[in-house]
Structure 1
Amino acid sequence: MASIVYAAPYIPPAPEPSPWAGIGMTWTGWDGSIWDLTTRASGLYLRRGVRGLGAPEHERRFSVSPGIPGSRHKGHRIVDREVFWPVRLWHDKSSVGFVQRDGAFWRTMDPDQPGVWTVDVPATGRRYLDCRFDAEEAGSFDLNPVRQGWADYGIRMLADRPLFYGDVRRRTWAEPEEQNFFGGSVGFGPPFIIGSGSNTGTASIDNPGDVPAYPAWTVTGPFTGFTVGVGSDTATLVMTVPGGEAVRLLTDPSVGPRAFRGTLVADETQPDGWAKDDQGSYLITGETDVTHEIEADSVFAPIPAGQARPLNLAVAGMGTVTAEIVPKYRRAW
């Protein structure tokens, strides 16, 4: 006699309380796709056990001498940051939908093409970390994820630039344009002259980050030379650059010092007539390396962590100077 066995229908796991209430996190893949990591409606979220939000590990540099207790501190080096994500991915409509979402997410995990982990805390704002895929932690599937429509993963990533970074801080200055306060009338004694509130003589910029930040400079033409720097540490470049062109000087030791000359991209909708990228930097085409034009006695100094510094700017001509720094942080907030 045949028997019939009734199996209870599969019931997906109940949603967990979010451990990230009040914090926004997203993953921007190398392909430009953006994944919300803290809202379950996206079909993907971070669970408990995330690693990589705190301070990175470092190696201490020191020296010791026989007969002298202890050691002499000589600084430290921050090592690569390890990141671990326990994630749950699901699709409650169909197996096809799950496979498509699962595949799209895993395509963003590439050991050679990093993505960006964004952490948004109301008190401190957005901070970013570039991460590249390292490995999927060994695990097992107790259920068929394609049929059930969900899966838990453990993802290890590596940040070889281990500091979180914030949004670009940017200021632009021009040589002061003198104007007679009394409109050119006579009989009122010596002329009272005022200049631009953003002129090169009053330039300063602050660095809210945890480590020193080196400025990147963009000087737009026309000019025949310029000097830029922090306090008494300055860099000079002598070169005739007409209007519509610019020189970009990078001072961060990780990429420079380097100088490039190129043509500004026109955009009549912008107040100054030049196009900017989504970070607000001038768009320049046809860049030519002019690093050899930097004066040999130039000195490149950073803005100290958590401080503001007056800048030393001079332009021979009518050009403008833009200083940009990217504050860097040890932690996500």
Structure 2
Amino acid sequence: MLFEPTVMQLLGVDGTTYTLSEEYSTESSIMLRRGAKGLDAPTYNVMADEYPAIDGGFVRYARATIREIFLPVTIYGTSRHEMLALKRRFIASLNPKKGLVQLQSTEHTPLSGDELVAEPVRSITCFYASGMEGGEGDDNGHHWATYGIVLRATHPYFQHLTRTQDTFVNPASGGVLALDNTGDEETQPRWEIVGPLNSRISMLRTDGAGTILDEMRFDAAFTLAEGEVLVIETAKGVQSIRRYPEVNPDGIYDPAEGDSMWFAFDVASPMWAVQPGLNHLELLIDMPSDMSSEELAAWVAANQPEITVSFLPSFLGI
């Protein structure tokens, strides 16, 4: 394999998965050749200004730009008919008018001897830009066509396919959670709060010693009946706060459904990101003071939520 033991796969807009191998096959195949680019650190746009009257300057901001990925590939077939059939399927699978493609990379960690253990897949979502224009030829009974495919990713980071998640224990008493982000970059979490709940709530990120670094809060009490779920999606560009009648087992919630709960949210508070490394999270559920024992028991019964936070770790490259 080209990056042995790395496995590179491309998931087309039609759901077809293509494994990009380097070895000749007895059947038609797609080979990723040497010279692939754009698989490691993204390109950054750093804005720096000069000081008007003193030496040097200062950096205003830095941002990762749209990532461009270059994949030199050769499509092989034992006959020209086989090669053409695979090429046509592959071109259709890249059609950006039909959707986006996913480029997936699986690395392997060596153990004792020759044993290898697969690491979690890193994936990036792209659209096809250009490159499926090339020349044909034949060699030792194999017919081939070579291309230099250019993909562009509007979100410039590779991510895991499955979300990292954890659940607060006993949140009504002020839950505490240590959440480890194994990625290279900060990432926006999703919160799922399953009722019952009838109070205001705040989500805090602290330094582990009690100092609050970030606070996302609601400034009005809201009600979740038992089994109802409030989904807070903080990813930039798709932020939403919606209440749904029940938990969706596959974790997918339609933002066009459910009830909007923005009215209860304090828009002055940030939808903060999970930072790389260990994050100390805390919950604050607003409890009225001076309650009688009966009122306290009723409040506890009405505020027993199950709160889960999840995120996709983001990486600079494969």
TM-score where L is the length of structure 2: 0.78
Task: Give CA deviations for 1:87-125 in whole Å, capped at 9, x if unaligned.
Answer: 121232x54433332221111112342111111112453
Q: Is the 8 A contact 2:136 2:143 kept in 1?
A: no
- CA distance in 1 between counterparts of 2:103 and 2:83 reads 23
**Aligned equivalent of 1:105:** 90
Q: Is the 8 A contact 2:138 2:144 kept in 1?
A: no
**Aligned equivalent of 2:305:** 319
1:262 aligns with 2:244: yes
Q: Is the 8 A contact 1:228 1:314 kept in 2?
A: no
**Aligned equivalent of 1:91:** 77
Q: How does 1:67-216 map to 2 (within 5 A)?
A: 67-92=53-78, 94-112=79-97, 113-123=99-109, 125-136=120-131, 139-142=134-137, 149-166=143-160, 167-175=162-170, 201-216=175-190
Q: Secondary structure at the residue paired with 2:84?
A: helix
- CA distance in 2 between counterparts of 1:23 and 1:156 reads 20
Q: Specify the code of the residue in structure 2 equivalent to 1:25.
A: M
Q: Is the 8 A contact 1:84 1:156 kept in 2?
A: yes
- CA distance in 1 between counterparts of 2:174 and 2:81 reads 60
1:60 aligns with 2:60: no
Q: Secondary structure at the residue paired with 1:49?
A: coil
Q: Sort the Cα spacing of 1:161 and 1:296 in 2 relative to 1 into closer, same or farther, 3 A.
A: closer
TM-score where L is the length of structure 1: 0.74
Q: How does 1:15-26 map to 2 (within 5 A)?
A: 18-26=1-9
Task: Give CA deviations for 1:56-77 in whole Å, capped at 9, x if unaligned.
Answer: 1111112212332221122211
Q: Secondary structure at the residue paired with 1:264?
A: coil
Can you give the 5+ residue segments of structure 2 that lack an aligned partner in the other structure? 110-118, 207-211, 287-301
- CA distance in 2 between counterparts of 1:149 and 1:289 reads 57
Task: Give CA deviations for 1:269-298 in whole Å, capped at 9, x if unaligned.
Answer: xxxxxx522xxx366794233223213443
- CA distance in 2 between counterparts of 1:131 and 1:163 reads 11
Q: Specify the code of the residue in structure 2 equivalent to 1:209.
A: G
> In angstroms, what is the RMSD of aligned CA positions?
2.7
Q: Sort the Cα spacing of 1:154 and 1:296 in 2 relative to 1 into closer, same or farther, 3 A.
A: closer
Task: Give CA deviations for 1:172-213 in whole Å, capped at 9, x if unaligned.
Answer: 235369xxxxxxxxxxxxxxxxxxxxx862322121222222
- CA distance in 2 between counterparts of 1:115 and 1:133 reads 8
**Aligned equivalent of 1:250:** 233
Q: Is the 8 A contact 1:264 1:282 kept in 2?
A: no
Q: Is the 8 A contact 1:173 1:200 kept in 2?
A: no
- CA distance in 2 between counterparts of 1:241 and 1:228 reads 17
Please report how far the alpha carbon of residue 83 of structure 1 lies from its aligned counterpart in structure 2 after TM superposition: 0.7
**Aligned equivalent of 1:306:** 277
Q: Sort the Cα spacing of 1:24 and 1:311 in 2 relative to 1 into closer, same or farther, 3 A.
A: farther
- CA distance in 2 between counterparts of 1:128 and 1:209 reads 13
Q: Specify the code of the residue in structure 2 equivalent to 1:216.
A: R
- CA distance in 2 between counterparts of 1:255 and 1:241 reads 23
Q: How many residues align?
A: 278
- CA distance in 1 between counterparts of 2:39 and 2:274 reads 25
Q: Sort the Cα spacing of 1:205 and 1:331 in 2 relative to 1 into closer, same or farther, 3 A.
A: same
Q: Sort the Cα spacing of 1:120 and 1:142 in 2 relative to 1 into closer, same or farther, 3 A.
A: closer
Q: Is the 8 A contact 1:238 1:294 kept in 2?
A: no
Q: Specify the code of the residue in structure 2 equivalent to 1:58.
A: Y
